Structure 1
Amino acid sequence: MQLSKLLERLEYEVVQGSDQIEISTLINDSRKVENGSAFVCIKGAVVDGHEFVQQVAEKGASAVIVEDEVDAPKDMTVIRVPDTRYALALMSAAYFGYPADKLKVIGITGTKGKTTTTYMIKSILDAVGHKVGLIGTIEAIIGDKHIPAANTTPESYTIHKYFAEMVEAGCDCVVMEVSSQGLMLHRTAGIPFTIGIFTNLGKDHIGPNEHKDFDDYKRCKGLLFKQCEIGIANVDDKYFEDVFAGATCKTETFGFSEKADLRATDTHLVSRPGYLGVAYKVEGLMNFDVEIDIPGTFSVYNSLTAIAVCRHFGVPIDAIKKALKVAKVKGRIEMIKVSDDFTLMIDYAHNAMSLESLLTTLKEYNPKRLVCLFGCGGNRSKDRRYEMGEVSGRLADLTIITSDNPRFEEPQAIIDDIKTGIQKTDGKYVEICDRKEAIKYAIEHGQTGDVIVLAGKGHEDYQDIKGVKHPMDERVLIQEVLEELKAK
């Protein structure tokens, strides 16, 4: 492909060489450069690609795309652009033949609810014959292929590679999580989103390698609504107007408020042994009753979002109701049937905000006891441990403190930190370092009417110990425990 073709949607300056040369591959990782590559110099949090110009030249790169001055060999083409991350996004789109133009792209941004909502939308659209790709926190789904995710929103090159594979696999639309980091780092620049969705905003992702402050976090969320045709927003969120302040799209709203275009009324909790759900009436742009097998108010928001999107695809009401009833997300309030007496679930809640939201939701069902089993990751902030300990001590009737991903720390030291938080409350707790033994204790001591939540691991199927990821899936552990208890 000719270099100028890759650059056709960008402003750029040819510093040396020619933009008429042929390029073999587009690369932003110096280790993958080969003869004839165009290498895009990205400034990362740790490494700056501009430092590798000599190295990629020796490997045979024909061109480098830079935003700073570099010392490049005379026979190498040097292209300067204002922002190499933005350039990588638009060049990647061109490199893969603009695959997003052949798909209806649905992007979801917000602090919470992105993952569950993407799966709900995919479930409904799949059910009526669409072929839907997915890119998110847990995985990318392309046809029958499931690719584990490294980031919520991958690098732009990877996004367009996935889009191209989706087109090849016959997909007609894709639903993707769009993180504020992804927007800030231009990973989604140039993508023509058909629909953009705003779920909610909480004070998260603010720090040295993330957003400098909350205003920046809000601003970045709002970028999605400058590059989509239709923006669908949670009108109940207090930051809705801030996020949509510069929006250029047509806007629709959902929520509980009378102002919402699509609203939930007559919401009531549904509870029976081993099952928690929620039912409500949809009013406004559509009118029907719905019940979903995922508990809590936030499940109403997630499902309303999915309904609002699927309305634009002309999905019949019966198909929406049926698909929502069976929509499940691995590790997101994932109920595992183990007893007719109590309810057991797995959830990814791994910080104080998500754990508080989860436990508050479950308390609304008035369980006999709310039992929370969790640990915290090693080589991470100690504050998270204190905060999670305090939340569980305050809201759960019993906390079972165990190990999560200890990484390079001693599991007992992490447990001791959690206890520091829990001891600020009157909460009862036990500590069982081995996670399988902790799960066994929870199941063995389950009482009629209990709700037991295994928090923190969610969709993860490993335990990170001293740099090694050991296989560990809580679903497998539960089955092993049940077999051991049966054999007693």
Structure 2
Amino acid sequence: MQLKKLIDQLKIKKIEGEISDQTITSIEMDSRKVSNHSLFVCIDGFTVDGHDYTDQATENGAVAIIAEKQVKASVPVILVPDTSKAMAQLADYFYGHPSSQLNVIGVTGTNGKTTLTYLLDDIFTLYGHKTAVIGTIDMKIGDQRYPVKNTTPDALFLHKNFRKMVGENVDTVIMEVSSHALSMGRVHGVDINTATYTNLTQDHLDYHLDMNDYAHAKSLLFSQLGNRFDELKTAVINIDDHYAGIMERACAQPIVTYGLSEKAFIRGDALQLGADYSSFTVSSPSFTTRIETQLSGKFNVYNMLAAIAVAYTYDVPIETIKEALQQTKGVPGRFESVSNNYPVSVIVDYAHTPDSLENVLQSISEIKTNRVFTVVGSGGDRDRTKRPKMADAAMKYSDYVIFTSDNPRTEDPQAILDDMTSHLQEGSFTVIEGRKAAIQYAIDRAADDDIILIAGKGHETYQEINGVRNHFDDREVAKEMIAEKYEES
């Protein structure tokens, strides 16, 4: 594509240097990935400012630079007010507006995003669609899986891979949309057909000013559905959530609500919850049926109601929805049992907020027959104010708690543990900094019919300490330890 044609898409710009007939073969934001005929976009990130790497970009073959502050370069520089917005606009145009050729379902909320994307993937796949999923765990296109760095990748990654999805005949994309992504404009230019809201509980207050600012960031997904009715756009909102009204007021498009309250359009009731199952009645103006599934916990009932509501907006038959939910195996690291063959149950869950930890422990309380041990920590370089609240939730619902490291990142692990426990009186807990030792402590003391919850990391296969990711999988560690315990006995 000709550079002049590409930058014509930018209405507000200042050009320094001569734009002639330069050809652009790629757009890059990482100078290391620049090659001959690349357009380099300078992004000022958390730790690295792309404006400092223009020399490396031009040495690697960049023929032009997009910047938001003055830089010296031997190639034309196009100055814009916001390079992140400009990159999204250019990427969308460069790759041929690919998201407009896909049915994109965006899912936002504190808890449940990943589970909901998996449930929707199961439903739409069973209904005959070829799907793609982008989220916390990875990116899936058809049957192929690819690693992702962030829950919601940057706009350049998204538009490039939307084009790949179109080329591979994908028709439905289900993606998690984080508050960070919405605040930073990573989904600018993405043509979202359905925006879905799960819930909002305390998290990310290291980034957002307060809960209202956090809610506002989430509401951007709904305002970005637009104000026109000539295209099919729909919002799906958990009406039982405290912040549901903010999402509703941000949205000009039709809204389908779900929940357990009578005011929900898609309503669940008559819940029956067990250790490895749940069942409930779901009703709408057009159907009433009983759902039975292997997923357990009230929080998963909400996730399934959200999936039903989204599928409803696409006229997926309730029989298909019901069959998909009955067959689903759930999500790795979400209420995942890892010791079914032994008298002690070990459950690994990604719960890393006060609310999600409380939800999981409440679900365990409903199925326990003996004691509950909880192994839990809190991530470093993240919201400190949630740490004592997580400790309180663990203490409230557990018979014994082992506080340990999660991903301390660049923080002192002991300082994180002090934040969690300094307000606690003496009681049924201990503090063991090493995560492996903490899991071993719980397993050594557990008796038959006890349940051990290992919370916070879920599907993750690493532990990040001092900025280095070391292999660590809660499921592998627990499985090995509990097998050793019972083999020795």
Scaled by the length of structure 2, what TM-score is found?
A: 0.88
Q: For the structure 1 residues 69 and 416, does the alpha-carbon distance in structure 2 shift closer, same or farther, using more than 3 Å as the test?
A: closer
Report the 3-state secondary structure (helix = DSSP H, G, I; strand = E; otherwise coil) of the residue aligned with 2:23.
Answer: coil
Q: Distance in 1 between matches of 2:246 and 2:415?
A: 42
Measured against aligned partners, the alpha-carbon deviations of 1:116-150 in whole angstroms (never above 9, x if no partner) come to 11111111112232121111111111233322332
The separation in 2 between residues aligned to 1:67 and 1:241, in whole angstroms, is 36
8 Å CA contact 1:392–1:427 kept in 2: the answer is no
Distance 1:444 1:324, change over 3 A: farther
Partner of 1:268: 272
Q: Note if contact 2:13-2:81 (Cα within 8 Å) is conserved in structure 1.
A: no
Residues 413, 30 of structure 1: alpha-carbon distance in 2 compared, 3 angstrom cutoff = same
Instruction: Flag the 1:441–1:95 CA change in 2: closer, same or farther, 3 A.
Output: same
Q: How far off its partner does 1:433 sit? A: 5.3
Shift in CA distance, 317/220, structure 1 to aligned 2, threshold 3 Å = same
For the 8 Å contact 2:7–2:90, the answer to whether it is kept is yes
- CA deviation digits over 1:432-461, x for unaligned, max 9? 555445444544544454332111221111
In structure 2, how many angstroms separate the alpha carbons of the residues matched to 1:53 and 1:413?
Answer: 39
What's the offset of the Cα at 1:396?
0.8
Alpha-carbon contact 2:152-2:176 (below 8 Å) kept: yes
Question: Which 5+ residue runs of structure 2 have no aligned equivalent?
Answer: 226-232
Matched residues in 1 for 2:108 and 2:9: separation? Answer: 26
The 5-angstrom pairing of residues 23-422 of structure 1 reads: 23-73=24-74, 76-207=75-206, 210-228=207-225, 229-269=233-273, 271=274, 275-285=275-285, 286-325=287-326, 326-339=328-341, 341-365=343-367, 367-377=369-379, 385-407=387-409, 418-421=420-423
Contact 2:63–2:76 (CA under 8 A) maintained in structure 1: yes
User: In the superposition, relative to structure 1, how do residues 408 and 175 fare at CA in structure 2: closer, same or farther (>3 Å)?
Assistant: closer
Instruction: Report the Cα distance in structure 1 between the residues aligned to 2:214 and 2:433, rounded to whole angstroms.
Output: 37
| SS in structure 1 at match of 2:62 | coil
**Contact 1:191 1:227 (8 Å CA) reproduced:** no
Match of 1:470 in 2: 470
CA distance change for structure 1 residues 334 and 418 in 2, over 3 Å: closer, same or farther? same
Contact 2:339 2:482 in 1 (8 A): no
Aligned residue number for residue 3 of structure 2: 3
The 1-side partners of 2:415 and 2:333 are apart by: 26
Question: For the residues of structure 2 that align with 1:367 and 1:88, how far apart are their CA atoms?
Answer: 55
Q: CA deviation at 1:226?
A: 2.8
Amino acid at match of 1:103: L
C-alpha separation in 2, matches of 1:467 and 1:84:
28
Tell me the distance in 2 between the aligned counterparts of 1:404 and 1:45.
Answer: 22
Letter in 1 for 2:277: G
Q: Does the 8 A contact of 2:203 with 2:386 survive in 1? A: no
Q: Deviations over 1:206-264 (max 9, x none)?
A: 33xx2334333222222212333111111112222222323122211111222211111
Distance 1:238-1:393 versus aligned 2 partners, 3 A rule = closer
Shift of 1:98: 2.3
CA–CA distance in structure 2, aligned partners of residues 412 and 205 of structure 1: 21
Extract unaligned runs of 5+ from structure 1: none
2:301 aligned counterpart, secondary structure: helix
Aligned equivalents of 1:98 and 1:409: distance in 2?
42
CA distance in 1, matches of 2:64, 2:392: 55
Secondary structure at 1:357 match in 2 = helix
Which segment drifts farther, 388-397 or 187-196? 388-397
Would you say the 8 A contact 1:35–1:59 is kept in 2? yes
Q: Secondary structure of 1:315's match?
A: coil
Instruction: Give the Cα–Cα distance (whole angstroms) in 1 for the partners of residues 6 and 450 of structure 2.
Output: 59
Q: Give RMSD over aligned pairs.
A: 2.8
CA distance in 1: counterparts of 2:15 and 2:415, whole angstroms: 55
Q: Report deviation, 1:155.
A: 0.6
- SS across alignment from 2:194: strand
Change (3 A) 1:314 1:242: closer
TM-score by length of 1: 0.88
Structure 1 CA distance, aligned partners of 2:383 and 2:306?
Answer: 33
Partners of 1:19 and 1:104 in 2: CA distance: 37
Partners in 2 of 1:77 and 1:169 — Cα distance?
35
Structure 1 pair 221/434, CA: closer, same or farther in 2 (3 Å)?
closer
User: What's the secondary structure of 1:64's corresponding residue?
Assistant: strand
Find the residue that maps to 1:141 and give its secondary structure: strand
